[in-house]
Every structure is written in structure tokens, then in C-alpha cells.
Structure 1
Amino acid sequence: MSLPSRALIVTAAVALTLAACDRRERETAPEAAAPADQGQVTPADGAAPMTYESENRFAEVSLNLPDAVRAQPDLHARLYAEGVRELRTFTEGAQADRTEYEGDMDLPPYAKDITFVAAGETGKLISLQRNSYENTGGAHPNPAYGAVIWDKALKQFVQPAQLFRRGADLSSLDNALCEAINAARRERNPDAETIGLNPTRSGWSCPRAGSTPFVLAASSTPGKAGGLIFLIGPYQVGPYAEGGYEIAVPQSAFRSLLAPAYADEFAGQPPRTGDITDLG
């Protein structure tokens, strides 16, 4: 075989391999936003794409980040890297499941989506709500809430406990959250059982504030947080069909508990207290 012929065969083989890889996994970035300064690319745009998608016969996964992270390149890069790693692990698990049980290979692929939504922001802090959806062929999909609070100056995550004074007794906030949850449940079902911090005979109970994901609530005072929005997933305080709750608690209910470093970030009132799930 002549050298030119051999080169053509190798080139064709490489092209076919690349095409197959492209079909197995697609990573997409949104169209570039209109540049602010003569086409200059911001650090956030350079750090990571805003979306990720991968699809094969085992799993379909996706990640979506909000425009709010563009101004925080370190946060942007970390959320993208951690999200992609989580989704790739999910895909590997889906493949392992399907290859172990060959009888269900004709079923639809597993699915998982992670979407971050911009929530309240102050001079020091930005918060994001994490909505995830997972379907592995069970009786129903598994939605879940999570939250991120980021210190813009320190460029690091703020853990829930860090928002409050060290050793602060959060029992008053626990009770305020529980009262709001019961009110929200009665709005959906007037006959809903009242629950407390300890499990009832039916097994339901109110979650503790310190172990419940929350984001900052917008405020009537510009640049401040008017409270916290606690994110409670389906099947956490009632039957799955009852759905999840987003409970806004005003900062006046916990202001005395705040850590000095973040107390000044709170003022005013949230647009609404109680359940805001259906407000969009």
C-alpha cells in the first residue's frame, strides 16, 4: 500500500472516532453575552461554560447556571466543575446498573438535571437555589433542594452555621420555621395535621433550621436581605403528593442570632413571608 493511501485511511479512522465521541457526549455553552467592553471576555466567561449536557443510552444529564455567577468567576468555576463531576458519576452509575441487569436495557435512560437559580444578593453575599431532578426508573422522580451562599470578598462558601453567632441557640428560629410550615400546609389542605419538632404518630416533623438548606430573601431595603427562604423538599414534612415548600422567614425573627460579620447584610422585610413556592 502506498504512503498516501495509508495516510488517507488513518485520517478517516481518526475522523470517525472523533464523530463517535461527539455523539456519545455533548458539552454545550450558551451563546456569548454581549460584551461590555469592546469584546473583552470576562474572567467568568473564560472560567467555565454556563451549561453542560451529556447523553447516551444509559443516562441523560444536564447542568444549568444562572447569569448571576458571571460576576463571580471563582464561584462560577467551582459550581461548574462540581456539577459536571456529579453528573459524570451519575452517568457511570447508570451504566453500571444497566450492564449488571441486562434485562432492562430497553427501558428509557436514567435522567438527572441540576439547575441553579439566582436568589437574594447583598453587598457581601450572593445566594443560589439548587434544584435537582433525578429519575432512575422508580415510582416517581426524585426532586431535591439545595442552596449556596457565597462571600464575594472572601471568595468562599458560607456554611449555614457561619451566618449565625457561634453557639447561638436557634430554637426560636426552629419554632418560627415550624409555625410557618404548618400555616403553609393548612393553606394547601385545611385538614393537614399539625406537626412539631418531634415526630408525630404519623412520622412527620418540622426540620431544624440549621439543617435545612436556605437562601437569602430579597428585601424592601435595597442591597440587603429581608430574611431567609428555607427549602423543604417533597416527602419531608408530608406525603409526596403534597409537594415541596419554600418558606420565607423575616430577618426580624432571627436578627439577634446573626454573626457580627453578616448582621449588617440584613434589613427590611421580604416581599412576602410564609410559603412562596408558587410565586415563580
Structure 2
Amino acid sequence: MSLSRSFKAAILLGAAVSVLAACNRGEEETAAPPAIPAGPSAAPASTAPLAYESENAFANVKLTLPEAVKGQPDLHKALYDASVKDLQTFVEGAQADRTEAGGDGGLPPYEKQVTFDTPVDTGKLFGLTTSAYEFTGGAHGNTAYSTVLWDKALKRRIDLNALLRPGADRAALDRMLCAALNVEKKVRDPQAAVLTLGEPKPGSYWSCPGLAETAVGLAPSTTPGKAGGLTFLIGPYVAGPYAEGAYRIDLPQAQIRALLNPAYADEFAGAPPKRPATT
């Protein structure tokens, strides 16, 4: 069964781009934010829902947000509104696609689940990781990963550029990520081939993804109220076959501290808690 042209476009765009783009604009700005007291935000908690769910004959969709996002009302509302709109568009596309095809061909309803989790709350920053699972037929669904980085004082989303100091050696961060990824691959499969940056080695389909291809967010910390480092989300098919699964790589702040923007460096301390290699 073929997807309608409009529904194909919606899938290619993906939930991560639509949700994060709706949060804010001007991500490249790296100016130091106004000083604010350390600790959790004192802003009134948001009253927006933490969940949305809809099921019909064409598609089942679901949104899940963590309780912690209520402390950032502007962000909470933006994420909820944009996510619900995206899910409703998905349902409309599923209905149009199956109507155009003249029936469902015995296939189950399409499915989409958007989950925001792993909140990290520091004095100046609030972070989330995002997974968007889609099933539109075939052997299995696909999951896209993204992150949210929110400056609590400026009340806007920022990106990795803001967290890194001007002139930071991004190539060094690429190498750190590649080395850590190879360690995780060996944990899952001791016979796994070592990946390198750039084009895949002869006879291989895979190489280490660079920062431009990777969702980067805040890692939790063993020190309350701080980020333990940076988290890198690498989806299936990026660094290995689908069966190998996704990777969530944490680089400790001690390892990357020289690269951090002084405006945000104090938001990092401790280390990421140990987690299973397969997450």
C-alpha cells in the first residue's frame, strides 16, 4: 500500500522538527543570559495537560510529557500545542491515505507516539529528550530522536552552539562521541567492527555520525540541580542495522568542560549516572 503524497511529506518532516521548531527561533544566539538564582525555577506551574491520546480505525496516537515540564509553563504549552497539532495531522493523513487506497488492506491502524522524558533541571537550563515512534505499515515502525534545550531566564530554546564556547573544537567533540559509541557497540557485540568518522570503511555500511547528524541534550547528573554532561541520541540505521537498536551516549562534563561556554559552564557538575548500554 502506498502512502498519499501529503502523508509522505508529513512523515519525512518528522515530529522532532515540527515540535522543536515551534518552541522558539533564533537558536544561534550565544550571549550570556541574565543571572538568576540557582535551583528550580520559581515560575508558576503550567496547567496544560501532560498527555494526549486518540484512537480510531485509521490511527492511534499518544503524547506523554513529564511532570517536571510544568515548572516551565511557556515551554510546556509550546510542546503540548505543537505535539497535539502534529498528532492530529498524522491522524488526518492516515485517514486520507487509507481512503485513497480504497481500504486498509487488513492492516492495523497506523500508530504514532511522542514521548518527552529524562528531564534535567539546573539553575539556568531545562532539558528533555524526545522519541517519536511511527508505524505506517511494513515490518516495523521507526523512531526519530531529538532534544529540547531551554534557557529558563531567556524563556527560549537554545542549541548546542549556545552551550559551546566560541571557537570550541567541535571536531574534538566528534572524536569523543565516536570513541564512546565504539565502546557501547563492543558492549553489545564484542565482534562489532570499529567505526570511524567520515565515509564508511570498505565493506561496511556504517560510520560514526557527526554532531550535525546527532540530537544533543543535557545528561542527568549525580549532583542535584546540575547537568552531568551531554547526551547524544543516535537512532537505528545510523550507526548499525535496525536490530542493533538506538544508542544513548553520555559524555561526562569533566571530559568536555574545556569546550563549554562560560555562560553555562556552572550548570554542569558531577557525572551522568550509569545506565545500561541498550536504552
Q: TM-score, normalised by structure 1?
A: 0.79
> 2:239 is aligned with what amino acid?
V
Q: 1:208 aligns with which of 207, 210, 229?
A: 210
Residue 13 of structure 1 aligns with which residue?
Answer: none
Report the count of equivalent residues: 234
Deviation at 1:268, TM superposition (A): 2.4
Query: 1:205 aligns to what SS in structure 2?
Result: coil
| Match of residue 249 from structure 1 | 251
Q: State the secondary structure of the residue aligned to 1:104.
A: coil
Report the residue type matching 1:234 in the other structure: P
Cα deviations by residue, 1:111-158 (Å, 9 ceiling, x for unpaired) = 000011133221111111112211001221112211111111111111
Deviation at 1:252, TM superposition (A): 2.1
How do 1:62-211 and structure 2 match up within 5 A? 62-198=62-198, 199-201=200-202, 202-211=204-213
Cα–Cα, structure 1 residues 238 and 71, in superposed 2: closer, same or farther, change >3 Å? same
C-alpha displacement of 1:107 = 2.0
SS of 1:119's equivalent in the other structure is strand
- CA apart distance, 1:105: 4.8
Give, in angstroms, the shift of residue 243 of structure 1.
Answer: 0.6
| 1:228 has 2:203 as partner | no
CA distance in 1, matches of 2:251, 2:120: 13
Do the aligned partners of 1:248 and 1:276 also contact (CA within 8 Å) in 2? Answer: no
CA contact (8 A) 1:129 1:147 kept: yes
Of stretches 235-244 and 153-162 in structure 1, the one that deviates more from structure 2 is 153-162
Per the TM alignment, residue 210 of structure 1 is displaced from its structure 2 partner at its CA by 4.5
One-letter amino acid of the structure 2 residue matched with residue 150 of structure 1? W
2:15 is matched with none
Q: 1:200 corresponds to which letter in structure 2?
A: K
Rounded to whole Å, the distance in 1 between the matches of 2:175 and 2:184 is: 14
How many Å separate the matches in 2 of 1:161 and 1:94?
37
CA-CA distance at 1:253 after TM superposition? 2.2
User: How much does 1:64 deviate?
Assistant: 0.9
AA of the residue aligned to 1:82: A
Equivalent AA in structure 2 for residue 118 of structure 1: T
Could you tell me the percent identity over the aligned residues?
55
Shift of 1:200: 2.1
Structure 2 residue runs of 5 or longer lacking an equivalent are 1-43
Given that 1:231 and 1:247 are in contact with CA atoms closer than 8 Å, whether structure 2 keeps it comes out as yes
Given the superposition, is the C-alpha separation of residues 276 and 147 from structure 1 closer, same or farther in structure 2, using an over 3 Å criterion? farther
Runs of 4 or more above 3 Å deviation: 275-279
CA distance in 1, matches of 2:225, 2:170: 25
SS at match of 1:248: strand
Structure 2 counterpart SS, 1:132 = strand
More helix by share: 1
**Relative contact order, higher structure (CA 8 A, sep 6+):** 2
Q: Which runs of 5+ in 1 are unaligned?
A: 1-41
CA contact (8 A) 1:247 1:276 kept: no
Name whichever of 92-101 and 177-186 sits farther off.
Answer: 92-101
1:240 pairs with one of 225, 239, 242: 242
Q: Could you list the per-position Cα deviations for residues 132-188 of structure 1 after superposition, in whole angstroms to 9, with x for gaps in the alignment?
A: 211001221112211111111111111122111234221111111101111111111
Give the letter aligned to residue 243 of structure 1. Answer: G
